[in-house]
A and B are shown apart, each in its own frame.
Chain A
Amino acid sequence: MKKTVKRYKVFLLLALANIIIGLVVPEIGERSLDLTRVNLMEMLSVLPPIFVLLGLLDVWVDRATMIRYTGKGSGFKGVLISFLLGSAAAGPLYAAFPVAGVMMKKGSSLTNIFIFIGAWSTTKIPMLTFEAASLGLPFTLTRLALSIVGITTIALITQKSLNDQQKEQLYKLHQTQ
């Protein structure tokens, strides 16, 4: 019980702050509460399938397969698979982090994991069609071309920024979960 309260401390404090603001400036408090509710409902409709998939991925795909396709030395094929995996996803970026955690546990290379994250953030296929419909095809295609280069570059930079010991620590962190 005490542990639970501690874990949710920040949330509880923020909720309290929201209530206080609501008492002082009812207008802002009310709107904020409304927005939080709408967002929560929306997230709850998107998140469960992602987490179920994550669970299935963890149970059904064994480590050897994951290493073969996206591990160190999977080369261009691994990059391509990570791009496709990320692009096929749906949902906000923060939902990708736990999936990335499972990929790490299964032995994907860090570069590929960051490519997966980048693809999830930017090149999701449903989002691209929607972007083209709202902002036009030239805008979308220019941005997509830049993003593919950018995502790969960011993945390499992030991976290079960690030394071997830090990488090992990261992998270890996800082994235990």
Chain B
Amino acid sequence: MSFFKDREKTKMALKKAWKAFENILPQFLAILVIIGLAFAVLTPEMITKLLGANSGLWGVLAASVVGSITLIPGFVAFPLAAALLKNGAGYMQIAAFVSTLMMVGVVTVPLEMKTFGKRATLVRNISAYVFSLVAALVIGVVLQ
């Protein structure tokens, strides 16, 4: 649609799209390799053990750390979370995992700093982490 309306502008848009993409490509590729390595070491069984039944507050903390560091797309994370729930993980741990997974991104911090600078990136991630813990506690209490 844009193409028919204004060919020049569309070309410019595509050029800008490519520039923005190439701008983040180096960090992006590095992050992909890090995730690959992390998951090759951290197997699903290990995750289940960490967040499993009766893991209590430590489980919540462990879940939040795993969630903050890893970068799993939602359509992989939700079935995983559902499987964990079935295997006896608590709502609190799962909520901590899901919330930190979505809001806190430790491995993407270098990318985020490119847009928001150091200070805002750190403040955003730390407050998102604290919020995730609070949300986990509330959800754990509400859904008991």
Contacts and interface: CB of A to CB of B under 8 A. Distances in A.
Interface residues of A, number: 72
A142 B115 contact: no
Contact of B82 (A135, A143, A177): A135
Interface residues of B, number: 67
A104 B144 CA distance: 42
Given A59-B12, A100-B116, A93 B105 contact: yes
A143 B96 CA distance: 10
Is the contact region of chain B dominated by helix, strand, or loop, or is it mixed?
helix
Interface of B: 2, 9-10, 12-21, 23-24, 26-37, 39-41, 71, 73-75, 78-79, 81-82, 85, 91, 94-95, 98-99, 102-103, 105, 108, 111-112, 114-117, 119-120, 123-124, 127-128, 131, 134-135, 138-139, 142-143
A157 B127 contact: yes
Contacts of B78: 130-131, 133-135
B132 to A, nearest CB: 8
B76 to A, nearest CB: 9
11 contacts: A7-B26, A35-B36, A93-B105, A110-B120, A130-B74, A142-B138, A146-B134, A150-B131, A158-B120, A170-B117, A170-B120
B37 A32 contact: yes
Nearest to A173: B117
Given A36-B32, A135-B94, A158-B123, A94 B2 contact: no
A33 B36 contact: yes
A146 B13 contact: no
A169 to B, nearest CB: 7
B115 A139 contact: no
A34 B40 CA distance: 9
